[in-house]
């Protein structure tokens, strides 16, 4: 089964399709978000809050999350550890 991670407010992302999770503060991330919004490939999962993380997907979609990249990383590693423990 694929790893599904909560990116905030009950929104779920398939981590098998994620290329990168980056901070939304950098100029390249802002440019990526702007281009994704213009082309209709942006998914806003912030519920009106400030985007702290930009999740870049394989299909060029961009998911905006109100959670910090570090928080998302911790969730990914915790989920991976849970799956590894189940396999043993």
Q: Where are the domains of the chain?
A: 4-82
Residues 29-86: tens digit of each pLDDT = 999 999 999 999 999 999 999 999 999 999 999 999 999 999 999 999 988 788 888 8
Q: Apex CA 42: angle with CA 39 and CA 43, to 5°?
A: 150
Give the residue among 52, 55, 7 at the shortest CA–CA distance from 25.
52
């Amino acid at each position: 089964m694929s790893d599904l991670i909560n990116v905030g407010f009950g929104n779920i992302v398939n981590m098998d399709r994620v290329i990168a999770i980056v901070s939304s503060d950098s100029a390249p991330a802002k440019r990526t978000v702007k281009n994704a919004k213009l082309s209709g490939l942006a998914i806003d999962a912030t519920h009106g809050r400030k985007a702290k993380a930009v999740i870049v997907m394989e299909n060029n979609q961009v998911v905006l999350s109100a959670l910090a990249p570090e928080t998302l990383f911790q969730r990914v590693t915790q989920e991976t550890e849970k799956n590894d423990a189940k396999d043993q």
